[in-house]
Amino acid sequence: MALETLVQRLLTEPVPEDLWALQPLLLAADTPGAQPAHEVAQQFYCYLVNVRSKLTSKQYSLLGAALAATSIGIIAVRDLLDSATDDRAHLLQNALSGGLAGATEGFATLQHVRAWETEFGSVHEEALWRLYNLLWRLSVEGRGDQTPETRHSLIEQLLAPARAAELDGMARMAYLIRLFQIVLLLRLHPVLVIRREAKVAESDNT
């Protein structure tokens, strides 16, 4: 399956199988951005596998439907490729504004997950820890001039909805998955750009 197709599917209704299919494409890619993207894909995969293992098939289908209904957008990959800038801070801001606008309200309609156990909660706490690290590194690359205090404050604001005690369990999962989608999209940006440029060059030579 083409990388662009996989990415678009992962931005609409992500499943572990598509992240698994993404793995060989990233490992085989001889580009500097492939390794960081593979790291995000690995952590995203582990989170989705854990989530799916703890939900009923009906609950997981409901989660997928909610993600698809509030997806980042069917033209997200094209928009990212058409962006003239490689400024990570700019890309992050645009992706977040498009991907999380109204997301909390949309996810709030999800049915409550009764089995909100300590074990289940630890899965999300681990995901929050990993996302904090991933967002910090993206921020450092995009805005190296920021103070650690400012960087911490901005990331805390972004993660706050997923840490709020009043947020329903299913909505929390959806919000964390949306964050993983956006971080993956940003990490895939250089890989997608290089692949597109290679295709254009190949087309020009034929």
Instruction: Give how many domains the chain has, as a whole number.
Output: 1
Q: Give 63's contacts (C-beta < 8 A, 6+ positions apart).
A: 51, 55, 110, 170, 173, 174, 177
What pLDDT does residue 145 have?
Answer: 86
Q: What is the pLDDT along the chain (206 residues), one digit of tens a residue?
A: 688 889 888 888 889 999 999 999 999 988 888 999 999 999 999 999 998 888 888 888 878 877 777 666 544 556 655 654 455 556 566 555 554 555 555 565 555 554 444 557 788 899 999 999 999 998 888 778 889 999 898 888 888 888 887 777 777 888 898 889 888 988 988 888 787 777 767 666 66
DSSP 15-83: -HHHHHHHHHHHHH--STTHHHHHHHHHHHHHHHHHHHHHS-HHHHHHHHHHHHHT-S-TTHHHHHHH-
pTM over 0.85? The answer is: no
Q: In terms of residue numbers, what domain contains 45? A: 3-204
Q: Give the per-residue pLDDT at 86.
A: 53
